[in-house]
Chains A and B, each alone.
Chain A
Amino acid sequence: MRFATIARLALRRQLLAAAIALGILSSGSVGARAVEIQYWQYVFDTRVQAMSEVIKQFEAENPGITVKQVTFPYADYQTRLIAAKAAGRGPDVMQLFYGWLDTFIAGKLVQPLPKASFKDAEIERDFFPIVSAMKRGGQYYGLPTAVRSMALFYNKDLFQKAGLDPDKPPQTLDELVAAAKAITKRDAAGNFQQVGMALDIARQDHNWWREILLRQYGGESYSADGSKVAYNSEAGARSLEFYTGLQKLHRVGQEGFMDEGQAAFRGGLAGMVVDGTFRIASYKTIQGFKWGVAELPTQDGRKANFGSYFANAIGASATGEKLAAAEKFLAFISSEKAMTIWLDKVGELPARRAVALTEANIKDPIYGPFIRGLDYAATPPMVDEAAQRQVSIDMINTVLLKNTPITEALAAAATREQAILDKFKGK
């Protein structure tokens, strides 16, 4: 015990000496002691601009640390990270989709956040609950700047033309179908000229089905610990039937109409589309018609939403003074200040409750429905986001294109996805 105390004291004294030396050095010659850290994210114009602004403010507050922003096209992003890791030159702070976390931990690309500077209790108090998707084994691996949720975008002009009240968007799935039917227009040969509902599995509809409709019908997508697929159920069947029924039964939309769901909506040929916060910036440029946003329609009074986000994490290779600088930078980009910039420039919702849940934001006609949705949003863990998405896409396609019975398609998808989960666990 005594020896340990002495050793600790000695260590503390050394640390103190080092800190003083560092202080003298950094106050004496700032330039010589400057630390440069690298921040990586994918290219998306507004995100890059917002981050440049955040970096400028951070550097002003922290002389001696410079942050270099490095960007890559989205499609190359993961590959670049992995290649950089192989070459031993990874980023100090990086952006990652929450669904990539397990892969990144397994590949030793990220390191856990130090508990001293990022306290669990504070994170859980200040951030929306979906931040828990960044926690593994009692350790947080990253924090988001902004979060995303889903809502129903609707074309007010088409509502009006169809005799619907443009200020009363559908609140239940039944109302959604009724509104969609009123808006849908087909020519004499039965071809869609205008759809009530833009359908797009590859974009957001697979999320709408798996994380929202399923829950609204009383089911769950995965078991609580995320290790088992749970949608092969009565609720799974009913929700899949509803989704595919929009095309097959109610005939209010068609996959591939105008190539993409968002193109159909932007083109003014779709009454409604389910999409995320990230689409706001693009839809704000629409000039031809008025549009609105509504909370997602419910079923049996059940609300559900899908929250997802890009988080920022510290690269596994950051050590020493780079690690210290990276910690400071991460704290800054997940601060209230940075989140305000992000909301203004990118249009994505702040991840901290205090910044998001302001009176003005909640009442905002565009942001409001998304922010209200965040409170009941679920963010299920994912081990291989792309592969799991493909399973849902294929499941919906077998029903739509091959007339596979719902239960059969559901069972096949559950088996395939379970294999993905099992394989990952085995790693």
Chain B
Amino acid sequence: MTALTSPRSAGLSGPWGRLSIATKQIVWAWTFLALPVLFFAAVRFYPTLEGFYLSLTDWDLLNEARFIGLDNYRKLFADPVFWQVFANTFAYLVFGTPIAIVLSFAIAYYLDRVTVLHGLIRALYFLPYLTTAAAMAWVWRWFYQPPPIGVINSILGSLGIPAQPFLRSVDQALPAIMLTAIWAHLGFQIIIFMAGLRAIPTSYYEAARIDGLGEGAILRRITIPLLKPTTVFLVVFSSIGFLRIFDQVYNMTSNDPGGPLNSTKPLVLMIYQTAFSSYQMGYAAAQTVVLFVILFSISMAQLWILRNR
């Protein structure tokens, strides 16, 4: 501590010396925090604000941005493609999230009871999560091919079921892609659920069994309620993932991205195409703001649910 009484700090002993230790700690904390805060402001908040401004212009990268008010939003809400894309995005969310959660919970619940080769099975489930989305998408794209090369169609064929068009169908393409996205994130969700399951004290279960509760009742009254924080986290995490889905769609439909006939196109892909194929940066910024508002609302809802816990 004697080292602190250097000539410099002695010189500052006036106002600095009169501060309480708590205040000094706050000053130091903010001094250290200043760098990340400034960095964050520069790379996150400034571009975000700039994005809001751009959404009010007709910037095309080549010419000066011109302020056009809310024209981009008017155009967006009048565009039937936007509403289809909006519906697609919510289809990924509304069907994808519950299926992913129920499936991963069921697997985690039973995997938790498996004692033989537990580690290996867990690793197998987790493996897909380590692979890049593009590589997975291309493998699945091959699975979905029509005969004679498609794997799934050969299996269907051997069972006497007619070949399905999958990615070449306006009705089947979205579920087909959604399934791969669910599968890709399953490993991560299983691991988190298992951690949640292991965190529940075994004494609760013992007490319940002594009281004569059945397995179903234990699941409903103890396991699921106590897993609520884990479930909320995964629901939010997975919702944001589905709302931002891009890689799977882009790679599985790269001949006609988001097709056929926009039936698989999510909002992020529309933003990408508007910005980097058509160079309508202002219009793309407006779409980004819409996506931001949706994501923001979902995050706020998460905070609200957690507070009610």
- Distance between Cα atoms of A109 and B60 in the complex (Å): 13
Q: How far is the CB of B255 from chain A (nearest CB, A)?
A: 4
- Distance between Cα atoms of A255 and B145 in the complex (Å): 11
Q: Using known A-B contacts A189-B162, A255-B168, determine if residue A394 contacts B261 with beta carbons closer than 8 Å.
A: yes
Which residues in window 39-89 of A have CB below 8 A to B? 78-79, 82-83, 85-86
Q: Using known A-B contacts A109-B62, A202-B255, A255-B168, determine if residue A193 contacts B163 with beta carbons closer than 8 Å.
A: no
> Which listed segment binds B: A125-133, A211-219, A305-313, A397-405?
A397-405
Q: How far is the CB of B166 from chain A (nearest CB, A)?
A: 9
**B146 contacts the other chain (Cβ, under 8 Å)?**
yes
Contact of A402 with B149 in the complex, beta carbons under 8 Å: no
Q: How far is the CB of B37 from chain A (nearest CB, A)?
A: 29
Contact of A202 with B256 in the complex, beta carbons under 8 Å: yes
Q: How far is the CB of A97 from chain B (nearest CB, A)?
A: 14
Please indicate the chain B residues that have their CB under 8 angstroms from the CB of A332 in the complex.
none
**A184 contacts the other chain (Cβ, under 8 Å)?**
no
Contact of A191 with B61 in the complex, beta carbons under 8 Å: no
Contact of B261 with A401 in the complex, beta carbons under 8 Å: yes
Given pairs A192-B147, A201-B256, 4 additional interface contacts (CB within 8 A): A107-B62, A192-B148, A393-B256, A397-B259
Q: Using known A-B contacts A397-B261, A401-B260, determine if residue A258 contacts B149 with beta carbons closer than 8 Å.
A: yes
- Distance between Cα atoms of A193 and B147 in the complex (Å): 7
Contact of B62 with A401 in the complex, beta carbons under 8 Å: no
Contact flags A163-202 to B (C-beta < 8 A → 1, else 0): 0000000000000000000000001011111000000111
- Distance between Cα atoms of A82 and B260 in the complex (Å): 29
Please indicate the chain A residues that have their CB under 8 angstroms from the CB of B262 in the complex.
394
Q: Using known A-B contacts A189-B162, A393-B256, determine if residue A386 contacts B277 with beta carbons closer than 8 Å.
A: yes
Contact flags B149-188 to A (C-beta < 8 A → 1, else 0): 1000100010000110101111000000000000000000
A selection of 7 A-B contacts at a CB cut-off of 8 Å is A82-B62, A190-B162, A191-B153, A191-B157, A260-B255, A393-B259, A401-B168
Q: Using known A-B contacts A106-B62, A108-B62, determine if residue A259 contacts B141 with beta carbons closer than 8 Å.
A: yes
Q: Using known A-B contacts A187-B147, A202-B255, determine if residue A402 contacts B261 with beta carbons closer than 8 Å.
A: yes
Please indicate the chain B residues that have their CB under 8 angstroms from the CB of A86 in the complex.
61-62
Which residues in window 203-226 of A have CB below 8 A to B? 203
Q: Interface extent on A, as a size class?
A: 35 or more
**B30 contacts the other chain (Cβ, under 8 Å)?**
no
Please indicate the chain B residues that have their CB under 8 angstroms from the CB of A107 in the complex.
60-63
**A256 contacts the other chain (Cβ, under 8 Å)?**
yes
CB closest residue in chain B, given A185: B148
Contact of B146 with A257 in the complex, beta carbons under 8 Å: yes
**B276 contacts the other chain (Cβ, under 8 Å)?**
yes
- Distance between Cα atoms of A118 and B167 in the complex (Å): 50
**B73 contacts the other chain (Cβ, under 8 Å)?**
no
Q: Using known A-B contacts A106-B62, A202-B256, determine if residue A401 contacts B169 with beta carbons closer than 8 Å.
A: yes
- Distance between Cα atoms of A399 and B159 in the complex (Å): 31
Contact of B256 with A189 in the complex, beta carbons under 8 Å: no
**B278 contacts the other chain (Cβ, under 8 Å)?**
yes
Contact of A189 with B157 in the complex, beta carbons under 8 Å: yes
- Distance between Cα atoms of A82 and B62 in the complex (Å): 7
**A387 contacts the other chain (Cβ, under 8 Å)?**
yes
- Distance between Cα atoms of A412 and B10 in the complex (Å): 81
Q: How far is the CB of A86 from chain B (nearest CB, A)?
A: 7
Q: In this complex, which of B63, B141, B256, B276 has the most chain A Cβ atoms within 10 angstroms of its Cβ? A: B256
**B109 contacts the other chain (Cβ, under 8 Å)?**
no
Q: How far is the CB of A207 from chain B (nearest CB, A)?
A: 15
How many residues of chain B are within 8 Å of chain A by beta carbon? 30
Please indicate the chain B residues that have their CB under 8 angstroms from the CB of A200 in the complex.
255
**B279 contacts the other chain (Cβ, under 8 Å)?**
yes
Contact of A189 with B163 in the complex, beta carbons under 8 Å: yes
Please indicate the chain A residues that have their CB under 8 angstroms from the CB of B145 in the complex.
256, 258-259
Please indicate the chain A residues that have their CB under 8 angstroms from the CB of B255 in the complex.
200, 202-203, 260
- Distance between Cα atoms of A399 and B271 in the complex (Å): 27
Please indicate the chain A residues that have their CB under 8 angstroms from the CB of B142 in the complex.
259
Q: How far is the CB of B63 from chain A (nearest CB, A)?
A: 7
Q: How far is the CB of B302 from chain A (nearest CB, A)?
A: 35
**A254 contacts the other chain (Cβ, under 8 Å)?**
yes
Please indicate the chain A residues that have their CB under 8 angstroms from the CB of B259 in the complex.
393-394, 397
- Distance between Cα atoms of A398 and B148 in the complex (Å): 25
- Distance between Cα atoms of A190 and B153 in the complex (Å): 13
CB closest residue in chain A, given B258: A390
**A384 contacts the other chain (Cβ, under 8 Å)?**
yes
CB closest residue in chain A, given B167: A256
Across the interface, B168 reaches (CB within 8 A) one of A85, A187, A256, A386, namely A256
CB closest residue in chain A, given B162: A189
Please indicate the chain A residues that have their CB under 8 angstroms from the CB of B141 in the complex.
259
Which residues in window 223-258 of A have CB below 8 A to B? 254-258
- Distance between Cα atoms of A191 and B157 in the complex (Å): 9
Q: How far is the CB of A186 from chain B (nearest CB, A)?
A: 9
- Distance between Cα atoms of A258 and B144 in the complex (Å): 11
- Distance between Cα atoms of A225 and B169 in the complex (Å): 38
- Distance between Cα atoms of A107 and B62 in the complex (Å): 5
- Distance between Cα atoms of A83 and B170 in the complex (Å): 36
Please indicate the chain B residues that have their CB under 8 angstroms from the CB of A85 in the complex.
62
Contact flags B278-296 to A (C-beta < 8 A → 1, else 0): 1100000000000000000
Contact of A193 with B168 in the complex, beta carbons under 8 Å: no
- Distance between Cα atoms of A269 and B149 in the complex (Å): 11
CB closest residue in chain B, given A395: B261
Please indicate the chain B residues that have their CB under 8 angstroms from the CB of A255 in the complex.
168
- Distance between Cα atoms of A139 and B36 in the complex (Å): 54
Contact of B61 with A401 in the complex, beta carbons under 8 Å: no
CB closest residue in chain B, given A203: B255
Q: How far is the CB of B148 from chain A (nearest CB, A)?
A: 5
Contact of B157 with A82 in the complex, beta carbons under 8 Å: no
- Distance between Cα atoms of A197 and B204 in the complex (Å): 67
Contact of A191 with B146 in the complex, beta carbons under 8 Å: yes
Please indicate the chain A residues that have their CB under 8 angstroms from the CB of B261 in the complex.
394, 397-398, 401-402
- Distance between Cα atoms of A420 and B55 in the complex (Å): 21
Which residues in window 241-298 of A have CB below 8 A to B? 254-260, 269
Contact of A397 with B278 in the complex, beta carbons under 8 Å: no
Contact of B148 with A191 in the complex, beta carbons under 8 Å: yes
- Distance between Cα atoms of A78 and B167 in the complex (Å): 29
Q: How far is the CB of B260 from chain A (nearest CB, A)?
A: 5
- Distance between Cα atoms of A260 and B149 in the complex (Å): 12
Contact of B61 with A82 in the complex, beta carbons under 8 Å: yes
Please indicate the chain A residues that have their CB under 8 angstroms from the CB of B62 in the complex.
82, 85-86, 106-109
Which residues in window 250-267 of B have CB below 8 A to A? 255-256, 259-262
